[in-house]
Amino acid sequence: MILDVRDVGTDPPRVDLCIVGGGPAGLTLAAALSHTGMQILLLEGGSHQTNGATQDLYRGEVIGNHPSAHEYRVRALGGSSKTWGGGCVPLDPIDFVERDWVPSGRWPLGYNEMRRYYRRALVAAEAGRCEFGAPSPLIPGVDGASFCTRLERFSRPTDFWKRWRSVLKSSRTVRVVLNATVIEIRLTAGGNRVDHIVGVAPDGREFQVRARAFVLCVGGLETARLLLASRNQVACGVGNQNDWVGRGYMCHTAGIGGAATFTVPPQAIGFGHHRDADGIYCRRRLLLSEVAQRQHRTLNLAFRLRTPDPSDASHGDAVLSALHLGEKFLRNDNKQGESDRPDTLAHLTNLACKPLRLISAAGTFVRERLICRRRAPSFSFRPLYNRYAVEFHGEQAVNPESRVTLGCSRDRFDMPRLRIDWRLSAIDVETVVRGFGLLARRMTEARVGRLDYSEDELPEIVKQAGAYGGHHIGTARMSALPKDGVVDPNGAVHGIGNLYVSGSAIMPTSGQANPTLTILALAYRLAAHLGEHFSHLL
């Protein structure tokens, strides 16, 4: 059942479970529990589609090279799955274990425990089988002791509201309430349970929700904001007795760090996307092996091959020049100075010299992006001259000085806005530098080509690239002991028996992997826990 908050009174009936947040985690959790008989209320702060007024609630102050607080977040049913790219990658076994060279980097559960839920997560994301071994290497001769090629699987990409809409709308036990912004968590007098949460409608009317258990599924940033802003009974914020809420905030490092020119045939390079036997698009990633990470005391790291920068006409490629000129046209960038004209002429020359390549690429684009049931994740084609940009995607270590706190300004519901102070650690940068050095050496040893990059310039490239997109991780980290984090291995806030958190906020490490698949796996793991302990909630 789908309702608007205007259809709900100021004191809704008590339910078994209240889920806050209608993104991938919250919707998947609700769908997974819809058959249990639990009376479930899911509160979403937005509506079916986003709008300026609701998105404005996400704005905040940013320190460091981090995207604006409201970017990469969608306040609507489906959450960020309305705009994600669909990449599905699991964390690696090494991400779950203690590494003495990585600060605060350990999960209180193991990889095998999570692997069972990765299978269900892939089904939810419509990304195929739980198989990530590559049929062939990304770069021939490079896999071995220091590197291994793994697959990244791609969802449609799935909008999780569309994915679970029929299940939730037809459920007799699940109610989804739109435009219901939660602004505070109120504890019982003893402080060891949640008594109720306070929400607010768009017109400012407040309401309260009472439930036997509550789950926050509002993303890595908003989780910290809500916990920290709930200060009526706990001055430091709910769950923050050990000062871990918002602290140790992680994203990923990512950017173009160099260029690879290969001497082997172009077809030998595992570039671009391919379809597996089930028609799922996959892409190869070259990972720094566990052996290499231990030997060189680095974080986790992945490499991908990309086409060169389309704006640089020296690539001589008609397709890239067409993309660049098309982008300028879409930006309505018609005013050209004297310095722009030679650049445009060079791109037009590329078009004229290789028209057949352009026609072939156009056919591929129509076939893979416009007239197919499952679209290719992106438009990829082999560049000329067997030369590729090399992209890195690296783990960020826990840094206590990298944190999310409450700022001085407030939103229209009088809730403090976020202050994001994102910081790199030396090991974040050193991992990328060492990874490029190892890759350059291995390519030379394998006699497959060369990797051009500047070891001196690479640290600045990492810093200038900044925090990667919408990967907001670790603001309510999972830990075995209360002194080391915010939630226990089941996602329950330490010391509060009926308050849970699910999503990227509870991940203690970031790994090299995009977080969405792990977010879904954690939602299924929490669903199993809540389902098993349902009788204790009553």
| pLDDT value, residue 368 | 62
Helix (H, G, I), strand (E, B) or coil at 358: helix
Q: Give the DSSP per-residue string, 435-478.
A: HHHHHHHHHHHHTSEEEE--TTTHHHHHHHH-B-TT--B-TT-B
Cis status, amide bond into 157, omega within 30 of 0: yes
Contact 377, 315 (CB under 8 A): no
* Beta strand extents in 79-146 (DSSP E only): 87-88
Could you report the average pLDDT of every consecutive run of 10 residues in the chain (538 residues)?
Answer: 82 89 97 95 94 92 94 94 94 96 90 95 96 96 97 95 96 95 95 95 93 97 98 92 96 96 95 92 97 98 89 76 74 57 78 75 65 69 86 97 96 96 97 98 97 97 93 97 96 96 98 97 97 68
User: What pairing do the DSSP bridges indicate for beta strands 416-421 and 61-63?
Assistant: parallel
In angstroms, the CA 196 to CA 213 distance is 10
User: What is the gyration radius of the CA atoms in the chain, in angstroms?
Assistant: 24
| pLDDT value, residue 340 | 62
Query: Which among 133, 175, 126 is positioned nearest to 152, based on CA atoms?
Result: 133
Contact 440, 208 (CB under 8 A): no
Q: Give the DSSP per-residue string, 484-526.
A: G-SB-TTSBBTT-TTEEE-SGGG-S---SS-SHHHHHHHHHHH
Query: Which among 428, 421, 386 is positioned nearest to 404, based on CA atoms?
Result: 421
In angstroms, the CA 531 to CA 364 distance is 47
Query: Which among 28, 10, 11 is positioned nearest to 19, based on CA atoms?
Result: 28
In angstroms, the CA 368 to CA 388 distance is 22
Query: Which among 522, 499, 520 is positioned nearest to 127, based on CA atoms?
Result: 520
Query: Which among 411, 415, 421, 453 is positioned nearest to 434, based on CA atoms?
Result: 453
Q: What is the dihedral of CA 99, 105, 107, 110, to 10 degrees?
A: -30
In angstroms, the CA 75 to CA 87 distance is 21
Name the token pair of 15.
């339910």
Entry pTM: 0.92
Query: Which among 418, 67, 509, 66 is positioned nearest to 226, based on CA atoms?
Result: 418
Contact 427, 461 (CB under 8 A): no
φ, ψ of residue 187 in degrees (nearest 5): -90, 165
| pLDDT value, residue 338 | 52
In angstroms, the CA 77 to CA 96 distance is 31
Residue that the structure tokens 């390549």 belong to: 357
| pLDDT value, residue 239 | 95
